[in-house]
């Protein structure tokens, strides 16, 4: 009987009976009615127990979830439930979610007709990489009056791994490579001149540049033909991620580091699809993942696995170490997309000599963050003295971020200052801009 549970309704009815018996001391005519109701209550309880427990199984339940989940993606978990009872039952379903979600009272309610099966689902969004262990599934079944519950326990413990978001990678790939994309955020940039590699002559379609019309081929075919060009290929693109404590800050529950990791996967995929070579370097006080720039079929998988394993560091970033890593790994001029974060001008000034030296040898794009929540705070109306001070501090913080960008641009360093949720779009636009200008 360890799976027999008494519901709140049981105690309400029992309390009502106690009150009725109490009144029967002063009003004797109530006593027989109280006795009848008590015996009826006991009979119903015994009947409920019999019909709920006569089926050994009674309820069959399964859980379906993906083997791999994407960081920050909305994931649907599906629970299928089937009743073996010959009458309508009410269910309360408790799923033992991974500890990362910190949910201890997650439940769903469901009503099933006789022999009916239904599917119920809920959505989760993982905000940390790693293994997520789903525990047991508990289903509490109540009968006609809901006075008692039968607990059904399903040992369907599963582990799902959270990787950098492949879904975001595919979405950005579609937008970046689509010639007709009008999705907000992705800029379609005009190529400057024709200093690109000739690819083929093809028939004209609406949207092609009329300056690329090949009149000789048009005369032969008696229809408009255009020259098609492709971007210069086999350029080296290195994704460099600072894992220091400055990347531990969070925005909408995710670390800056995890936003950078998602964006790095997006950019590695786009670079490979653009026939460039993609490489990876992560660092803090010590060197992390290092992958030389390649363009093999399995290289993106290697980058994904390395990004999955990356852990944040509580120490400061060593930019002297980064210079040593780039001298060791980078051959020839490369595009370096450096994901980092600077919270003060003093921090930037300490590493500026390294950034200038790196930019003189390669094409450096420094990507750092500004907080959208601080932006909203700085723009809201204030009505008290403490809020005025806080508003002023928020404005000073935003101003300093823009001063950092101006200093970097003054020294010829390409910069991206963006909020974390717009990171991938902003980085992709910068990459496409540099390709269109022939800088890489």
Helix (H, G, I), strand (E, B), or coil: what is residue 333? coil
Q: Where are the alpha helices (DSSP H) in 383-422?
A: 385-410
The pLDDT, as a whole number, for residue 183 is 45
Judged against a pLDDT cut of 90, whether residue 407 lies above it is answered with yes
Q: What CA–CA distance (Å, rounded) separates 182 from 432?
A: 15
**Confidence band of 5 (pLDDT split at 50, 70, 90):** confident
pTM to 2 decimal places? 0.80
Lowest model confidence (mean pLDDT) among 25-29, 328-332, 389-393: 389-393
With vertex at residue 192, the alpha carbon angle to CA 187 and CA 195, rounded to the nearest 5 degrees, is 125
**Confidence band of 390 (pLDDT split at 50, 70, 90):** confident
Q: Which fold has domain 1-162?
A: Immunoglobulin-like (2.60.40)
**Confidence band of 207 (pLDDT split at 50, 70, 90):** low
The pLDDT, as a whole number, for residue 187 is 55
Helix (H, G, I), strand (E, B), or coil: what is residue 241? strand
The pLDDT, as a whole number, for residue 194 is 45
Q: What percent of the chain has pLDDT over 70?
A: 92
Q: Are 143 and 155 in contact (CB under 8 A)?
A: no
The pLDDT, as a whole number, for residue 195 is 44
Domain ranges of the chain: 1-162, 166-190+232-436, 197-230
Digit-coded pLDDT (tens) for 301-317: 999 999 999 999 988 99
Judged against a pLDDT cut of 90, whether residue 71 lies above it is answered with yes
The pLDDT, as a whole number, for residue 144 is 74
Q: What percent of the chain has pLDDT over 90?
A: 51
Q: What are the residues whose beta carbons fall under 8 Å from the beta carbon of 246, sequence distance 6 or more? A: 256, 317, 340, 341, 342, 343, 347
In a 13 Å sphere around the CA of 413, the CA atoms on its Cβ side amount to 28
Say which residue, 175 or 347, is predicted with more confidence: 347
The pLDDT, as a whole number, for residue 229 is 61
The DSSP result for 85-148, as a single string, is -SS-EEEEEEE---GGG--SS-EEEEEE-TT-EEEEEEEE---S-EEEEE--EEEEEE-SS-SE
CATH of domain 166-190+232-436: 3.40.50.410
Bridging pattern class, strands 130-134 and 117-124:
unpaired
How high does pLDDT run on average in the chain? Answer: 86
Judged against a pLDDT cut of 80, whether residue 135 lies above it is answered with yes
**Confidence band of 133 (pLDDT split at 50, 70, 90):** very high
Say which residue, 434 or 383, is predicted with more confidence: 434
Q: What are the residues whose beta carbons fall under 8 Å from the beta carbon of 15, sequence distance 6 or more? A: none
Digit-coded pLDDT (tens) for 146-205: 888 999 999 998 999 999 999 989 888 887 776 444 444 555 554 444 445 555 788 888
Judged against a pLDDT cut of 90, whether residue 399 lies above it is answered with no
Digit-coded pLDDT (tens) for 222-272: 888 887 765 555 789 999 999 999 999 888 889 999 999 999 999 999 999
Mean pLDDT of all residues in 25-52: 88
Mean pLDDT of all residues in 273-281: 92
């Amino acid at each position: 009987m360890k799976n027999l549970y008494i519901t709140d309704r049981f105690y309400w009815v029992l309390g009502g009976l106690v009150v009725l018996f109490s009144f029967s001391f002063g009003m004797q005519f109530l006593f027989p009615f109280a006795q009848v109701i008590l015996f009826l209550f006991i009979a119903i309880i015994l009947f409920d127990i019999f019909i709920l427990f006569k089926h050994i199984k009674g309820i069959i339940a399964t859980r379906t979830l993906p083997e791999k989940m994407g960081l920050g993606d909305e994931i649907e978990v599906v629970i299928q439930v089937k009743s073996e009872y010959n009458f309508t039952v009410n269910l309360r379903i408790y799923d033992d979610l991974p500890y990362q979600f910190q949910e201890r009272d997650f439940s769903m309610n469901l009503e099933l007709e006789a022999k009916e099966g239904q599917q119920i689902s809920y959505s989760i969004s993982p905000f940390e990489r790693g293994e997520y262990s789903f525990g047991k599934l508990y289903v509490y079944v109540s009968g006609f009056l809901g006075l008692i519950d039968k607990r059904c326990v399903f040992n369907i413990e599963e582990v799902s791994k959270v990787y950098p978001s492949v879904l975001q990678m595919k979405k950005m790939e579609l937008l970046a490579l689509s010639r007709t994309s009008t999705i907000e955020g992705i800029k379609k940039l005009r190529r400057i001149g024709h200093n690109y590699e000739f690819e083929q002559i093809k028939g004209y379609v609406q949207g092609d540049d009329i300056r690329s019309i090949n009149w000789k081929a048009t005369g032969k075919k008696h229809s408009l033909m255009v020259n098609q060009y492709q971007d210069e290929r086999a350029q080296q693109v290195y994704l460099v991620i600072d894992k220091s404590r400055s990347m531990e800050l969070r925005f909408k529950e995710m670390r800056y580091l995890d936003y950078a990791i998602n964006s790095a996967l997006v950019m590695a995929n786009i670079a490979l699809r653009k026939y460039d070579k993609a490489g990876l370097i992560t660092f803090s006080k010590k060197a992390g993942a290092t992958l030389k720039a390649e363009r093999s079929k399995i290289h993106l998988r290697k980058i994904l696995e390395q990004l999955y394993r990356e852990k944040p560091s509580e120490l400061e970033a060593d930019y002297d170490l980064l210079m040593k890593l780039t001298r060791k790994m980078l051959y020839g001029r490369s595009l370096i997309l450096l994901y980092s974060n600077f919270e003060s001008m003093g921090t930037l000034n300490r590493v500026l000599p390294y950034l200038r030296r790196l930019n003189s040898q390669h094409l450096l794009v420094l990507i750092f963050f500004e907080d959208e929540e601080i932006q909203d705070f700085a723009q809201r109306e204030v009505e008290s003295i403490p809020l005025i001070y806080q508003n002023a501090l928020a404005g000073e913080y935003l101003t300093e971020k823009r001063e950092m960008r101006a200093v970097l641009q003054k020294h010829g360093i390409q910069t991206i200052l963006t909020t974390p949720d717009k990171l991938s779009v902003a980085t992709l636009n910068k990459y496409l801009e540099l390709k269109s200008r022939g800088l890489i």
